[in-house]
Amino acid sequence: MIEYIEQGKLTILTGESSWRDERHMVHLTCGHFTWISFLAFGSAEDCLDQIIDFLAEYHPGALYDEQVNEEFDRLKAEGASDDEAWEGSAVDMISGGNCGNWLLSEEVHFTFDPSRDDIKRYTEGKLS
């Protein structure tokens, strides 16, 4: 189970992390309408993996696994090799997490090493 805290408009992924670790704020648009904002700790890759695992557990509808698999199957049916089908089905996608789930790359926005003021704006819900 993924440990997290919701504070204002920010979901903070916790666990074995601390403020001294590298941190990133990641904003996701889901369905081009809803923003989900996360604060995660570790490298950018580690943060993305944590976020994708969180989404898989709590918001699986935000992931694009089904669309990627359907496109893979369509390309295979048209005669593409496995490599060609994976390459074609994963265009503009980001894979991560423990199960290799998929997000649309244009929906992921990183703020590298956000300041305390950046984070405070989200935790207090004072977004401009």
Contact call for residues 11 and 26 (beta carbons, < 8 A):
no
Cβ atoms < 10 Å from Cβ of 105: 11
**Residue corresponding to tokens 């295979």:** 76
Name which residue leads in pLDDT, 77 or 15. Answer: 77
Tell me what pLDDT residue 67 has.
Answer: 94
Query: For residue 122, which of 111, 107, 19, 106 has the smallest C-alpha distance?
Result: 111
Contact call for residues 49 and 57 (beta carbons, < 8 A):
no
With a CB cutoff of 8 Å and minimum separation 6, the contacts of 128 are 121
| Tokens, residue 125 | 């819900």
Tell me what pLDDT residue 29 has.
Answer: 61
Between CA 34 and CA 90 the distance in angstroms is 23
Class of residue 83 by CB neighbours under 10 A (exposed 0-12, middle 13-18, buried 19+) = exposed
Between CA 41 and CA 115 the distance in angstroms is 13
| pLDDT of 88 higher than 80 | yes
Full-model pTM: 0.76
| pLDDT of 61 higher than 80 | yes
Give the pLDDT mean for 80-106.
92
Ranges of each domain in the chain: 4-123
The per-residue pLDDT for range 3-13, each reduced to its tens digit, is 676 766 667 77
Tell me what pLDDT residue 10 has.
Answer: 65
